[in-house]
Amino acid sequence: MKSIWTGAIGFGLVNIPVKMFGASQSSDLDLDMLDKHDLSNIHFKRVNAETGKEVKWEDIVKGHKVNGEYVVLTDEDFEHASPKKSKIIEISSFVKVEEIDSIYFETPYYLQPDKAGAKAYTLFKEALEKSKKAGVGNFVLRNKEHVCILKSHDNVIVLNTIRFAEEIRSPKELEIPQAKVKADELKMANSLIDQLTGKFDLKKFKDTYAQDLMKVIEAKAKGKKISHPKLTVTHRKNNDLMSQLKASLKKAS
């Protein structure tokens, strides 16, 4: 794996030099975009909005418009905005992971220590394990500040970026219809929840859609006719909830 960030964890007065690696990967099939007329590949080009000519990557800069004029920013400008945050994941507090709502979680990364920081890294990792807590901090990655949590997982420190509170839309923008629920319906629903409750095991979940899609691709490649079954979503009346819950309990058992 190729590191995407190099810096250090700031743990009190202790700096732990680390490299960051992506911890997730896509399970999607690699699909190309094609022109439906001749199946030629579609290419995207970066063009000058005024001349229409293609612009090389090395000739592209970033800028922000101020009073109608662009101020061009260099890599040094981004780093100078906050040199510390660009190089240090500063731990400001520690919390229990379950205190953080899942709506805030973004992307996981692995942190690997440099040789000089192996002992401090191990100390910090074992301290996280023993305390059963996660460190909360912030840093800058790809010209954007992130809040993050650091926790021990499978003998490595995992960093999860989390969203700022202002990045979460208010659910008040939605129109949620209100409905009355009967006591026996709620009791039956809780019974179904209890019956289906078990220990969480992510390995039980597989990306079967990609496999099913591959079967369709292989069948079409062989010239086979593909049947397209239709799924109809049935909307039943609320007074049928009890019969649905009873049937669900029977199926679960």
Q: 68-94, pLDDT tens digit by residue?
A: 999 998 888 877 776 667 889 999 999
Q: Would the pLDDT of 232 be above 70?
A: no
Beta carbons within 8 Å of 74's beta carbon, 6+ residues apart: 61
Confidence of residue 124 (pLDDT cuts 50, 70, 90): very high
Residue 93 β-bridge partners = 136
Confidence of residue 6 (pLDDT cuts 50, 70, 90): very high
What percentage of the chain carries pLDDT values higher than 90? 53
Residue 35 token pair = 């022109």
Q: Would the pLDDT of 243 be above 70?
A: yes
**Considering the chain, what is the average pLDDT of its residues?**
88
The HSE-up count of residue 8 (CA atoms within 13 Å, CB side) is 15
Confidence of residue 157 (pLDDT cuts 50, 70, 90): very high
* Angstrom distance (rounded) from CA 106 to CA 89: 17
Please give the average per-residue pLDDT across 177-184, as a whole number: 88
Q: What is the DSSP letter of 149?
A: E
Residue 28 token pair = 């999607």
* Angstrom distance (rounded) from CA 145 to CA 82: 10
CB atoms within 10 A of CB 140: 21
pTM of the model: 0.75
Confidence of residue 56 (pLDDT cuts 50, 70, 90): very high
Which one is predicted more confidently, 29 or 93? Answer: 93
In which element (H, E) is residue 84 found? helix 83-87
Classified as helix, coil or strand, 229 is coil
Beta carbons within 8 Å of 112's beta carbon, 6+ residues apart: 3, 18, 19, 20, 21, 156
pLDDT at position 237 = 58
User: Domain 5-26+58-167 maps to which CATH number in 3.90.1150.10, 1.10.3720.10, 1.25.40.10, 2.40.290.10?
Assistant: 2.40.290.10
CATH 2.40.290.10 residue window(s) in the chain = 5-26+58-167
Q: Would the pLDDT of 200 be above 90?
A: no
Residues present in the chain in total: 253
pLDDT at position 166 = 92
87-96, 161-170, 190-199, 215-224: lowest mean pLDDT where? 215-224
Please give the average per-residue pLDDT across 206-223, as a whole number: 82
Q: What is the DSSP letter of 180?
A: -
State the Cα angle at 245 between 240 and 250, rounded to 5°.
Answer: 130
Which one is predicted more confidently, 179 or 19? Answer: 19
Please give the average per-residue pLDDT across 21-37, as a whole number: 88
First to last CA, the chain: 45
